Structure formats: structure tokens, C-alpha cells
Structure 1
Amino acid sequence: MTTSDFGRVAEDGTVYVRVGEVERPVGSYPGATPDEALAYFARKYDALVAEVALLEQRVRKAELGPKDAGSSIERLRIAIATANAVGDLDALSGRLDSLSSLAEQRRAESDAARAKARDEARETKEHIVTEAESLAEATAWKATGERFRTLLDEWKAAPRLDRKTDDELWKRFSGARSTFDRNRRQHFAALDAERAEAKVRKEALVKQAEELSESTEWGPTAGRFRDLMSQWKAAGRAGRDDEEALWTRFRAAQDAFFSARNAVMSERDSDQRANLEAKEAIAAEAEQLLPITDHRAARRALRAISEKWEAVGHVPRGDRDRVEGRLRRVEDAVRAAEEDEWRRTNPEARARAEATVTQLRAAIDKLTDQAEKARAAGKEKQATDAESAIEARRSWLEEAERALAEFSR
């Protein structure tokens, strides 16, 4: 069809456009022929065609959001309805109608995508909150603390929900973290209190040992030092640095006393060589206890050995450190075995280990039930998330069970 099919030029020079059965004036082009006048207004129509084509391209390629697309369509619809142009304006309006339908379809798709994203974000955050609440009472402090940090990162990475829902879920998540942090602080505060009490008790023992270090009542004081050593072992452990410093002072006081006693006894004893041979044999007997496999039997044997050792008397000064060092190494090995046994049989530590295993097993059972219900309901993503959480807890459970097994060796 040609331009003249949609417009005409009247005798007075007025240019008209036909839109359906209606004809309306669009202007005039003085001093031009009718064909030139129609061509001028046809070029304005072509400009509208170009605008429509560009808008069609942008909507189909989703370069415009649904709202902007709707606004642009309405703007062009008005422009076409009032255009001072000659051409098939009905056809352009029809193209805009089709484009409007496409824009509405895109709007519906966008709304559906946003709704899906909101649902997925809610599921993600509910999963995070559920796991956080299951960890609130955990006592695997390091592993659980790291997991809470990971969950917090996952929360921050998840899209925001509506304010009310987001606030409610955050309140639950924050509450679980606060419960865990409070329990952890209380645990370590209690541990610090125990260590502080042990420090006070051992400082008192060190003071007594230092007061006895210059005593010349060899027999009674040696017995007193043995009593102090028993009290030392029963006093519990202070903090690592305090424990080492206090033990150094205690052992120094003990060594000072026994060194002085040995010196005096060495001067009095003319049979030190025989004593040395006897102690060499006793040290060899003590060394037969190594390595320590039964600390109780070793302690009983060492006690008997120590009694024989004390009964022998002094050895020459130049040999004293060497021969006593042999027995001391055995004593240290027995003490280390006793301390290791104490650590492994500590009822509080065992209870914590058992609690951790129980909690992790319960969490796995709960998540397994959630996964089965989710899969039965066709919620594959929720089921997969639950199974991933199960795998993580199984690795924690293996670690916790290994720690618990240490108490059964």
C-alpha cells in the first residue's frame, strides 16, 4: 500500500490521514505539491515506525523492565493517536497491542521469578535458623563456633525477605548464637575458675616446699616432701604457664633440699661407691618399667624401687646427677602416664564428649527425618540441603566419637 492509501491533500493544501473510517487533519506543507506534502508527513510516520520497532526489539530482548516497558508502550500509543503523520497508524497501534501482551507476559514471568526467589531465600534462611537452633546447646566449642561463623556468612549472602519475616528469622538465629556463646563463656569461665583455684593451692604448696628446702631434718622433711607431692597431684592443673612456673619452683625447692641432704650424707658415708653400684642396679631395675603400659603397676613398682633407692644412701657427688637422672626419667614417665590417664578419665571431659556425640546423633536423626519428609513431599532442594547438613554432622560425629574413644582406652 502507498501513502496515498492512508492520506490525502485537500484543495486548500490541508493534509489528512485516514485512521479506520475516520479522517483527521495533520497539517499542511505550503508551497509544495500534494505528493511532496504527503511524503513529508509520511516521513513523520516512518519515524514512529522506527520508534515502535526499537521498542519491540528492547522488550523482546528484555532490555526494559516490565514497568518501563509499559510506560514506553503507553507513551507511544498516545503519540500514535495524536501523530501529525500519514501512514498505517492502525497497524502501528496493533503492533503496540501485541507488544503490550508480551510486556504483560514478561511482567508475569518476572513476578513469578521474584516470588520463586523469595521462597528459595526463605527456605535458605529457615534452614540456616533450624541448623543454628540445633547447635545452640552444642559443646564442641571450636567446631561449633566455626560452623556458626559459616552460617552467619550464608545468612549475609542470602537475599533479604520482607522486613517482618527477616526480623523474625534473624531473632531466632541471633538467639541461638547468643545461647551458644553464653554457654561457651560459662564453660571457659568455670574452667578458668578451676585453674585459678588450682593455682592458689599449688602456690601454697610451693611456699611450704620453699620453707622446707633448707631443713636439715632429713628423714621427716623427705617424708613431708612426699606428702607435698601427693597434694600437688591432687590439686588439679593451673593454667599452662602458671603450672610450668609453679612446678619449676616446687621442683627447685625439692631439689635444693635433697641436694643438701645428699651432700651431707655423702660426706658422712664412706661407702658411697658401694651405694653407687647399688643405685646403678636400682636405676636399671626402674628402667625395666619403660615403656609404661600400666601406670598403676609401674607406680607400685616405682614406690618399692624408690624405697630401696632411699634406703641405699648417698653416692659420690660427681655421679649423683647422672644416676638420679636415670631414676628421675622413669619417675617422669610414670607421672606422664598418670597425667595422661587422668586426662582420659576426667569425668567432666568424658561427659562433655558424650554430650557432644549424643547431640550430633540426635541432630543427624532429626535431619534424616526432615530429608525423608521433604523427599516424600517432592521438595528435592530441601531434602538435598538436609542431606548435606547430615554429611557435615557425620564428619563432626566421627571426630567427636574419636575423642570419646580416648576415654575408653
Structure 2
Amino acid sequence: MSYEMIAITMFSGMMVLLLTGQRVFGAIGFVAVIFALLLWGTGGSELGFSAAMKLMKWYPLLTLPLFIYMGYMLSESGIADDLYKMFHVWFGPVRGGLAIGTIGLMVVISAMNGLSVAGMAIGATIALPELLRRGYDKVMVTGVIQAGSSLGILVPPSVVLVLYGMIARQPVGQLWLAGVFPGLLMATLFIVYIAVRCWLQPNLGPVLPAEERNVSLREKLRLLQAGILPFFIFFMMTGLFLMGYTSLVESSAVGAVAATFAALVKGRLTRQVLHDTVRKSLAVSCMFMWIIVAALCFGAVFDGLGAVKAIEHFFVDQLGLTPWEVLILMQLSYLIMGMFLDDTAMLVIVAPLYVPLVKLLGFDLIWYGVLYTITCQIAYMTPPFGYNLFLMRAMAPPEITLGDIYRSIIPFVAVMVFGLIVVMVFPQIALWLPQHVYLR
């Protein structure tokens, strides 16, 4: 059997196992180990052990459980409620102001959390009922919540970028910095879309009643205090890192301590909260680690076959595609997979193929990590099985149907595709900040 057929058989076997409902790490790791034994005999059994040892020796891995812990601790601290009240008062007098404030809330939550799920939970439980009660269009605000929550995987400290950095062997600090401007660009595009649409159709996002808009400046300034604690957490975690006072791992530790301190200040640091946070953090961290081990093992077998070179030869030499055309096909494949898989599954399935191929084609792997993450954002909201679609369905009130949820994401997906194209055409949007910080 040719190496090309072996590679195709590996991917086919993995997809069959995934379709049977097996766990992602189990399907990938099983295929990797079986093919290693078939190709190299008993010596192939060392691949799994080597992958585990490689993971255990990788010092930046410590950031993963610490950021996950920070996210769960913040979700228990009640910070989001205070933040939303602040956005409510300051943006309420503007058409679509509460929806714009919701995007702002999501950016802040993303900067403290790094996970899409947390933003979705906060938006669906705090912002969505308030928006519906104020007469906002249910289809539009459902899309606002989903689009805003997707920022969690792009704005630092993005856990998805940490995973990409581990698998692609790229510095997580540079990946974080590369996600800053694209994340802000995406949030700005969302805000512009909401503002323009509500200006054209005022009934979609009415202003607050006069009696609620008449808040004294002193009260508005008092409400701004709600942003002090989130800013403190973000500064302690990311600011010290950018200024060079802390390393990446130290930054994650500072963030975890700051989140715990925030919960203490809010009077929420109970024994039960601490127990639940640690238990959930451990469970999610172990899941991610098993997935990374399986992906490293699979990648070692794939590299041993020389399949990446063969695929590059097929696309570039036999089909005559340019590197940019190959890159676009790769992004389209992510969108298709995103209809059925979550971001972690997509990454570990194709990383052994795509990451070396991107490098061979001459593209920057830091920039590609941002492209991958933006594509994951889009895939999160792509029917029929987009991850965010079903999270929203589980959290939304009964009056919002699945049809409403599907219709709500159409304009936001279009905005995100536009943002993806902008970052592809102008790579410096992602690369300027890491180059400026690390090469100055």
C-alpha cells in the first residue's frame, strides 16, 4: 500500500470512529497507535509514550489549567452582573445601545476568561432576558449573543490559541498578541453592523424609556466602578506580561490568583465554589491534555509517512494550485468540519496535516493560528450542528425557536467572513503587535 493510501486510510478510520460517538482523543489515539504498530512493529509502541513525555516536559502547558481555573472562578464571582448594569446605563440612550453594550460586555468577559462557553452562558442568562424585556428583536439579539460569545476564543487569553500553540509548537505569547487586533476588529465590525441596522430599523433596538435614561452623571460615574475589578484582573494578567514583568506561565498564575481575589472581594469565595471550580478545571484540563497527547502521536505517525510532502506535491505540482488557493481550500474545509465538530476536534484532526503544510507553503504559523481561530468562530455558528447554535438553544427562553437561532446568525457570519478576508489580505493586522513586542 502506498503512503498516500495509508494516510487516507488513517483519516477515514478516524472519521468512522468519531461518527460512532467515540471520544475525540480515543479515536485519534487508537488510530495512531494501531497504524504505528502496523508500520513499525513493536517499536511503534514508543510513539504514544514519547508524545506523553513531550507534553509533560513542555513548560507552557501549565498555562492551560490555570486559565481554565480562572474562567470558572470568574463565572462564580458575579462580576458580569455589575458590568452589564454599567453598559445598560451608558449605552441605553442609543438605538441598539444595549446590544452594543452586550458586545462590549462579551469583549471584557473574553479578556478575563478565554472560553466561548462562559461568554455564551453570561450573555444568555444576563443580557438576553433584559434585551427581550426592552423590546429588542429576538432574532437580532440571539445573533448578538452568539457572535459576541465567539470572541472568547480569539481575544487573549484564548484557550484555543494555547492549544494551537501546543500542537503547532508556536509561542503562545505571540499567538495571544496576534489575536488582539483581529479580536477588536471583529468586535468593532459587530458594533458597526448593530448600529447601522438599528439606525435603519429603529424597532429592532429601541432606546431606553426617558425615565430610565435620566440618570445623573454622578450615578453614571459610580457605575463605572464596576469596570475597575475586571480591568484590575486583565492588567494583572495581560498587562504585566506585555510589559515584560511576568512570563506567560507566571501571567496565568497571576490571573488565577486575581480571579480568586475577585471572588473573595465579592463575597463569593465559599468552600462549595472553590470545590466546584477546582473539580471542573481538573476535568477540562485532563480532557485537553488527552487530546493533545493523541494529536501528537497521530502527527508523529503522519510525519513518519512523509504524507505532508505528498499532499503538497499533489496540490501544488499535480493540480497546479497556488499557495493562496491551497490556503483558501484549507479554510473552507474548516468551515465544513465546523458544521459537525467543535474547535478542539477540528484542530487535532487536521493539525498534523495543515500545520506542516502551511509552513511548507511559506506562510507564517502565528498568522495562520489567528486565521484558524477566526474560522472556528464562524464554524461555531454554522448550521446544521454549529456548537454555539445548540448552546443557545439550551439556554434561550421558549419563545426563541431553533429557526430563530438559525436565522439570527446569517448577518453575523457574513460580518465574520468579511473580517476573515481582511485579516488574510492584511496579515500585519495580526502580526504587527507580536513583532513589535518581541522584536523591538
TM-score, length-scaled by structure 2: 0.21
- Flag the structure with more relative contact order, 1 or 2, with Cα contacts below 8 A and sequence separation at least 6: 2
TM-score, length-scaled by structure 1: 0.22
